[in-house]
């Protein structure tokens, strides 16, 4: 489950309303599951973040014990792991454990919003200022965060990616982060929805939940 802080939702909506009737756009920074995994390993087991890769073997490469692995997974899912789960579910690598976590309620955590100027200055399309985007990417790296989503507003249509949105996502190669659409079509009841845009052009709506922590 993707987690938004209520503060970041407020900031995103505030930005979209401020730019209305033009489209607003920006980047959502946060901690991916891999970042969260690294945090626990670094804080609890003094493992260097740099050695933790998706294909690292939990026991042979990271020297984690079964108890360590259970602790990490339980922390990320909030659900205690049943005995023998590591063997029966074939959780061998970092990627295996993150897939398990994702299937059991864990997810990216959005922590901050970076406004990007829409250089198209249009009610019907957006184009992120490339230098500001680069800065956002650098900021993410500096804070040890990742780009977990992009957002933009639709001022005259529903909160659903347009054909152009889908095409641009594929052409840019940015299909890992989610796409958040803020519709101001009904200004009194704006709608915020989140999607995964796949390289084959399919669009899947993703749920998110709100947390009060910033
Ligand atoms: Zn759009």
Confidence at residue 35, expressed as pLDDT on a 0 to 100 scale: 93
Q: What's the 57 CA to ligand 1 centre distance in angstroms? A: 40
Q: Are residues 134 and 160 in the same domain?
A: yes
Last residue of a domain, one of 75, 103, 131: 103
- Mean pLDDT, all residues of the chain: 94
Q: How far is the CA of 2 from the centre of ligand 1 (A)?
A: 21
Separation of CA 166 and ligand 1 centre (Å):
8
115 and 194 in a single domain? The answer is yes
Read off the pLDDT of residues 94-125 as tens digits, 9 standing for 90 and up. Answer: 999 999 999 998 999 999 999 999 999 999 99
The number of folded domains in the chain is 2
pLDDT greater than 60 at residue 214? no
CA–centroid distance, residue 182 to ligand 1 (Å): 9
In the reported structure, the alpha carbon of residue 116 is separated from the centroid of ligand 1 by a whole-number distance in angstroms of: 15
pLDDT reported for residue 79: 81
Distance in Å, CA 47 to ligand 1 centroid: 41
Among 103, 118, 140, the domain boundary falls at 103
Question: Both 164 and 61 in a single domain?
Answer: no
Residues 153 and 175 in one domain: yes
Is there a single domain that holds both residue 71 and residue 128?
A: no
Average pLDDT for residues 197-207, to the nearest whole number?
A: 96
Query: Do 117 and 187 sit in the same domain of this protein?
Result: yes
Distance 154 CA to ligand 1 centre (A): 6
Find all residues with CB under 8 Å of 103, minimum gap 6, and list them.
Answer: none
- Same-domain status, 64 and 146: no
- The CATH number of the domain where 185 resides is what? 3.40.140.10
pLDDT at residue 3 above 70? yes
State mean pLDDT over 47-52. 95
Q: Supply the CATH number for residue 42's domain.
A: 1.10.1200.10
132-160 confidence digits (pLDDT tens): 999 999 999 999 899 999 999 999 999 99
Task: Give the per-residue pLDDT at 22.
Answer: 97
Same domain? For 15 and 67 the reply is no
Together in a domain, 21 and 120? yes
Residue ending a domain, choose from 79, 103, 127: 103
3-state secondary structure labels for all residues of the chain? CEEEEHHHHHHHHHHHHHHCCCCCEEEEEEECHHHHHHHHHHHHHCCCHHHCCCCCECCCCCCCCHHHHHHHHHHHHCCCCCCCHHHHCCCCEHHHHHHHHHHCCCCCEEEEEEEECECCCCCCCCCECHHHHHHHHHHHHHCCCEEEEEEEEECCCCCCCCHHHHHHHHHHCCCCCEEEEEECCCHHHCEEEEEEECCCCCEEEECEEEECCC
Is the pLDDT at 188 greater than 90, yes or no?
A: no
* CA 121 to ligand 1 center in whole angstroms: 13
Instruction: Report CA(210)–ligand 1 centroid distance (Å).
Output: 23
Task: Give yes or no: residues 9 and 78 share one domain.
Answer: no
- Please tell me the predicted confidence (pLDDT) of residue 83: 77
Percent above pLDDT 90 for the chain: 87
The Å distance, Cα 22 to ligand 1 centre, comes to 11
What pLDDT score was predicted for residue 213? 60
pLDDT for 89 equals 87
pLDDT in tens, 61-102: 999 999 999 999 999 998 888 878 888 889 999 999 999 999
Domain membership of residue 99 as a residue range? 35-103
- What's the 25 CA to ligand 1 centre distance in angstroms? 9
């Amino acid at each position: 489950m993707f987690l938004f802080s209520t503060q970041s939702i407020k900031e995103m909506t505030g930005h979209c309303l401020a730019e209305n009737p033009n489209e607003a756009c920006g980047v959502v920074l946060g901690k991916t599951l891999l970042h969260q995994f690294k945090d626990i390993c670094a804080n609890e087991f003094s493992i260097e973040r740099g050695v933790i890769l998706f294909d690292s073997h939990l026991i042979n490469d990271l020297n984690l014990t079964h108890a360590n692995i259970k602790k990490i997974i339980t922390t990320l899912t909030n659900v205690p792991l049943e005995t023998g789960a590591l063997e029966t579910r074939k959780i061998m690598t970092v990627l295996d454990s993150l897939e398990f976590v994702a299937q059991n309620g864990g997810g990216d955590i959005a922590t901050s919003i970076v406004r990007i100027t829409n250089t198209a200055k249009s009610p019907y399309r957006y184009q992120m200022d490339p230098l500001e985007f680069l800065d956002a990417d650098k900021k993410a790296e500096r804070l040890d965060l990742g780009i977990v989503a992009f957002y933009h507003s639709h001022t005259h249509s529903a909160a659903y990616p347009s054909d152009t949105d889908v095409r641009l996502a594929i052409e840019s190669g940015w299909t890992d982060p989610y796409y958040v659409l803020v519709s101001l079509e009904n200004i009194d009841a704006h709608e915020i929805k989140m999607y995964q845009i796949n390289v084959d052009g399919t669009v899947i709506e993703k749920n998110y939940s709100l947390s009060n922590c910033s």
